[in-house]
Structure 1
Amino acid sequence: MTPAVETLNTLSPADRQRLIEIWEGAVRATHDFLTEDDIQFFKPLVRDAYLDSVQLACLRDAAGSITGFVGTDGEKVEMLFVDPALRGQGIGRTLMEHAMAHGARSVDVNEQNPQAVGFYLRLGFVQYDRSPVDGSGKPFPILHLRKD
């Protein structure tokens, strides 16, 4: 049985800390193009701004610990991160299916993260544009994907 996706309307301090732990672990596992300085640059932005700018939903394990989360803004998936120890177990797919069921139709993905690119392509997203830099102006090319 697939666990139920939970909407996080308000973040407790413990939930916020767990989301940051998942974000950092996932980034370290999949974004090998980022330096330690890059991770430290993005971490406070994620913690203090990005998490509060999206509609968050998560999955929890039997003990109640968050195992992955997705953040959307309207029709766009702004973030999707899964505990790296639990990758490949359908958490990301379940969260994306939830987001798509609630209207998400587009996502941006780092071109240098081929696992994520492949994941979104397998879900039926197609590339419609590419940016040579990310939203912070850093030289990390972004693929813009959508699903009709």
Structure 2
Amino acid sequence: MTTIRRSRPDEGDRTVEIWRGAVDATHDFLSPEDRLSIEEMVRGFLPQAPLWLAVDANDYPLAFMVIDKGHMEALFVDPACRGAGIGAALVRHGLALHPKMTTDVNEQNSQAIGFYEKMGFRRAGRSPLDGQGKPYPLIHLKYGE
């Protein structure tokens, strides 16, 4: 059984571990330099960020989500748990809090785009660069309508 709850300060290392595994499994389009640079940035903010965690029956974090003002900034699932409905449970939780939630997905991450579209998101635009100005185009998605 999966439970969704807020993260605690002592779970920072585990959330970075989830992020690293998920990125390595799904973001093969990143250059090695950009991948390392992003991890350095993530290590600096993720442990203190207000996260929603999906945890197992032993309260062990399996996935996390970050939402800021109705925009899902991040959704990462431990690769060992992919396909088990954990990411979908987090998204449904986010939608219960923010029915018009938006998110951005790397255009090269076609699995993620398919996941969000299956969850009911639709494409609302595209940016040629990511949030750091790197050439990783983003697809802007919004839920509903």
Aligned residues of 2:3 and 2:56 also touching (Cα < 8 A):
no
Closer, same or farther: CA 133–50 of 1 in aligned 2, 3 Å? farther
Question: Which residue is equivalent to 2:118?
Answer: 122
Gaps of 5+ in 2: none
Q: TM-score, normalised by structure 1?
A: 0.90
1:4-55 CA-to-partner distances (Å, cap 9, x unmatched) read 21112x421xx110011110110010011012211110012112125545x3
Aligned residues of 1:111 and 1:140 also touching (Cα < 8 A):
yes
AA aligned opposite 2:6 = T
**Aligned to 1:96, which of 91, 106, 111?**
91
Gaps of 5+ in 1: none
Distance 1:89 1:127 in 2: 25
Question: What is the CA distance between 1:128 and its match in structure 2?
Answer: 0.8
Question: What is the CA distance between 1:114 and its match in structure 2?
Answer: 0.5
Question: Which residue is equivalent to 1:80?
Answer: 75
Q: How many residue pairs end up in the alignment?
A: 143
Aligned CA RMSD, in angstroms, stands at 1.4
AA aligned opposite 2:4 = V
Distance 2:122 2:46 in 1: 25
Q: TM-score, normalised by structure 2?
A: 0.92
AA aligned opposite 1:11 = P
Distance 2:109 2:83 in 1: 16
What's the % identity of the aligned pairs?
A: 42
Question: What is the CA distance between 1:120 and its match in structure 2?
Answer: 0.3
Q: Are 1:132 and 2:131 matched, yes or no?
A: no
Aligned residues of 2:55 and 2:61 also touching (Cα < 8 A):
yes
Closer, same or farther: CA 4–61 of 1 in aligned 2, 3 Å? closer
Aligned residues of 2:70 and 2:102 also touching (Cα < 8 A):
yes
Distance 2:16 2:54 in 1: 15
Q: Are 1:71 and 2:70 matched, yes or no?
A: no
Question: Which residue is equivalent to 1:28?
Answer: 24
Aligned residues of 1:51 and 1:71 also touching (Cα < 8 A):
no
AA aligned opposite 2:142 = R
Q: Write the mapping of 1:36-51 to structure 2, written as runs, cut at 5 A.
A: 36-50=32-46
Q: Are 1:62 and 2:57 matched, yes or no?
A: yes
